[in-house]
């Protein structure tokens, strides 16, 4: 069964230095990981962000390698399956709790230039995870994605200000 990610969401760094997988993404990650609470995360191979998916994607990656190798052979191009496999399967398996909270390894935070905010964007068989400031630096082809992210950031900031108004100093 294929699993597909769509939509977008924003989460902020929480207590104990943990992030939260948004519910709409968490449900698909868990379903695609045979009901295990395992998130697969890696540095995206072209963009300054992370890519996420569930464990079932491993089988699809093997099929992708086969397709890429066949295409290279048909076109008479070299194909280093071992190198490509190393790049595709270098993801981290990260456990999360029932609420979707997880701790991101420092090297992934560095690879994705992650600060305290994550923007999740569905991309079909996987999703991307962006630092909103890094996403904003992307070219104009990213404008619809940047607009979605900016709107969610604005909502989060407004919500944060509203919560702070009710607190005594």
Question: Which pLDDT score is estimated for 163?
Answer: 62
Q: 0.95 exceeded by the pTM?
A: no
Strand partners, 119: 10, 130
d(CA 148, CA 26): 20
DSSP-based three-state secondary structure for 5: strand
CB contact at 8 A, 19 and 118 = yes
Question: Which pLDDT score is estimated for 161?
Answer: 74
Query: Residues 6 or more apart from 97 whose CB is under 8 A from it?
Result: 37
Structural domains in the chain, CATH included, are: 8-164 (3.40.1550.20)
Cα 64 to Cα 88, 120, 164, distances in angstroms: 9, 24, 49
d(CA 137, CA 48): 10
In 3D space, the residue among 112, 140, 116 whose CA is nearest the CA of residue 51 turns out to be 112
Task: Tally Cβ neighbours within 10 Å of residue 88.
Answer: 18
Task: Tally Cβ neighbours within 10 Å of residue 61.
Answer: 16
d(CA 52, CA 155): 24
CB contact at 8 A, 79 and 68 = yes
For 33, the token pair is 């990981």
Q: Return left, alpha or beta for 62; rule: phi > 0 is left, psi -120 to 50 is alpha, else beta.
A: alpha
pLDDT less than 50: residues of the chain: 167-169
Task: Tally Cβ neighbours within 10 Å of residue 29.
Answer: 25
């Amino acid at each position: 069964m294929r699993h597909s990610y769509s939509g977008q969401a924003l989460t902020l760094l929480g207590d104990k230095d943990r992030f939260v997988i948004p519910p709409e993404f968490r449900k698909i990650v868990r379903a695609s990981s045979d009901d295990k609470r395992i998130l697969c995360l890696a540095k995206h191979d072209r963009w300054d962000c992370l890519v996420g998916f569930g464990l079932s994607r491993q089988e699809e990656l093997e099929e992708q390698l086969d397709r890429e190798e066949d295409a290279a052979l048909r076109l008479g191009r070299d194909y280093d399956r071992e190198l490509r496999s190393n790049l595709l399967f270098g993801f981290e398996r990260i456990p999360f709790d029932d609420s979707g909270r997880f701790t991101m390894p420092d090297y992934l935070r560095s690879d994705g230039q992650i600060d305290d905010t994550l923007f999740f964007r569905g991309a079909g068989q996987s999703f991307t995870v962006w630092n909103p400031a890094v996403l904003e630096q992307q070219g104009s082809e990213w404008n619809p994605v940047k607009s979605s992210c900016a709107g969610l950031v604005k909502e989060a900031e407004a919500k944060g200000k509203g919560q702070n108004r009710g607190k005594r100093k």
